[in-house]
Chains A and B, each alone.
Chain A
């Protein structure tokens, strides 16, 4: 059974950093981009993220993550290049279709910003086990019950997916049509999803009881089997983030006073 995750096992300093600091890194990146909304700043942030991803030896795994947003990014470039309200200056044309500079610049900012945020997130998700992230958050005050819910989702999804194939086969062998006309496919949806939903909801009752019997609702302060390891780097990172935000405010002020 595989737990759901994008985590890549590597031996790097980035992997050692506390999960909370990687979350703060994302926050800092977004904050800086809001404070200084220029392409120059976004590119700078992106270079830093890419260097860190390189250091973590996971840079190749960033592409599939960006891929999720690839089509929408392309369509943004096209639609904005063609139709942006501020479009005036023709940048280039393909046949009769004219692409405008204003729209292209606008879409470039969007694309860089999105890729930037994706890279910052990639740094977290590629170098941190989801279960470690959740446990770290619980140690820092996240409700252990919410922590439980989050980590159990990670295992429940692969489990439900693995029953999916079985159900498909079973229903097909009973003559269920899963191809062809739309109406047939719509009709097929219920016999497919029905059993999974029923089973998983009915299972929740016994699981809830089993959790109760294992002191899930205990008022005692929770302890942890695993020890934490925090590096020297971890304690200084927070100051680096604060410094970065202050620097970006100064940058913004400099733009204004110009």
Chain B
């Protein structure tokens, strides 16, 4: 079953000439974890925003093709309705705090109040989201008093409480310290285990390789490839797209350690193959 269908998507921001998305098509199945990679300016963020309807509804500009979520065309819907199906987490944890709420608990309620949920249900969902993200103990704190990692988890909690089927994370750890990043990656992993469809843009390729069912490689507004992490990272032209494969893959590429033409992308798999390689020689 296809959760998201993108067909011949083209997009230009207002007052610019360049097609930032240039004839993009792909499909995502329910429950999949999709990693999006590509160098800065490739159009990754714009693509994410197109799936939530922010492109074109928020940014305007010139738009062609279709994005369907559960068969509904996002450009013809509105962002609040789509937000019940697709949630999105941005880079900067600071800008995602609404700023209008004095406690972490109330902050999570923001979206729920907007959609007019009743109080009982609201509280249940907030408790659940805070527990899932491991920040329940901060519930009475001011959101701005949290650390970067905690604040980003709060942003995710605010999205989870809306109970979307799809969550998009656009470089969620790029502004966090290593500890904060780990906290967020762990949270993302928990979400995946719950069967939520996840799309994550990330520069830490080890994480992309570890989590993703499929990886979308973008360059200059186009989809270069959309395949399993092994296939994507086994390509020999990654440099050209500003992508560096995970460390384990890089090492195995250097020694040409591969299995049916594919290099390993995770530590476990790399070890396995190195052992086998040693036995062989």
Chains A and B touch (C-beta atoms under 8 A apart):
yes
A contacts, CB < 8 Å to B = 1, 3, 131, 144, 147-148, 151-152, 155-156, 159, 203, 206-227
Q: Is B158 an interface residue (CB 8 A)?
A: yes
A227 touches B99 (CB 8 A): no
Instruction: Return the contact of B162 from the options A208, A215, A217, A221 (Cβ within 8 A).
Output: A215
Q: Please, which residues of chain B bring their CB within 8 A of the CB of A222?
A: 113-114, 116
A-B contact count (CB 8 A): 113
Name the interface residues of B95-125: CB closer than 8 Å to any CB of A.
Answer: 95-96, 98-102, 105-106, 109-119, 122-123
Interface of B is mostly: helix
A-B contact pairs, 28 of them (CB 8 A): A147-B100, A151-B99, A155-B100, A206-B91, A206-B92, A206-B96, A209-B49, A209-B90, A210-B96, A210-B155, A213-B52, A213-B54, A213-B79, A214-B111, A214-B158, A215-B83, A215-B115, A219-B80, A221-B116, A222-B114, A223-B116, A223-B119, A224-B119, A225-B105, A225-B109, A225-B113, A225-B123, A225-B126
Q: In the complex, what distance in Å separates the CA atom of A131 from the CA atom of B103? A: 12
- Top 3 A-B residue pairs of the complex, sorted by shortest distance between their CB atoms: A214-B111, A152-B99, A220-B116
Q: Please, which residues of chain B bring their CB within 8 A of the CB of A215?
A: 79-80, 83-84, 111, 114-115, 162
Instruction: Return the contact of A207 from the options B95, B109, B122 (Cβ within 8 A).
Output: B95
Residue of B nearest to A149 (CB): B100
Q: Please, which residues of chain B bring their CB within 8 A of the CB of A159?
A: 144
Q: In the complex, what distance in Å separates the CA atom of A87 from the CA atom of B106? A: 59
Q: Please, which residues of chain A bring their CB within 8 A of the CB of B80?
A: 212, 215-220
Q: In the complex, what distance in Å separates the CA atom of A226 from the CA atom of B90? A: 28
Q: Please, which residues of chain A bring their CB within 8 A of the CB of B99?
A: 151-152, 155-156, 207
Name the interface residues of B137-157: CB closer than 8 Å to any CB of A.
Answer: 142, 144-145, 155
A151 touches B114 (CB 8 A): no
Q: Is B88 an interface residue (CB 8 A)?
A: yes
B155 touches A223 (CB 8 A): no
Name the interface residues of B24-83: CB closer than 8 Å to any CB of A.
Answer: 49, 52, 54, 58, 78-80, 83
Q: In the complex, what distance in Å separates the CA atom of A226 from the CA atom of B162? A: 18
Q: Please, which residues of chain A bring their CB within 8 A of the CB of B54?
A: 209, 212-213
B102 touches A210 (CB 8 A): no
User: Given A223-B119, A225-B122, do A152 and B102 touch, yes or no (CB 8 Å)?
Assistant: no
Q: In the complex, what distance in Å separates the CA atom of A203 from the CA atom of B94? A: 9
Q: In the complex, what distance in Å separates the CA atom of A226 from the CA atom of B126? A: 13
User: Given A213-B87, A216-B80, do A3 and B122 touch, yes or no (CB 8 Å)?
Assistant: no
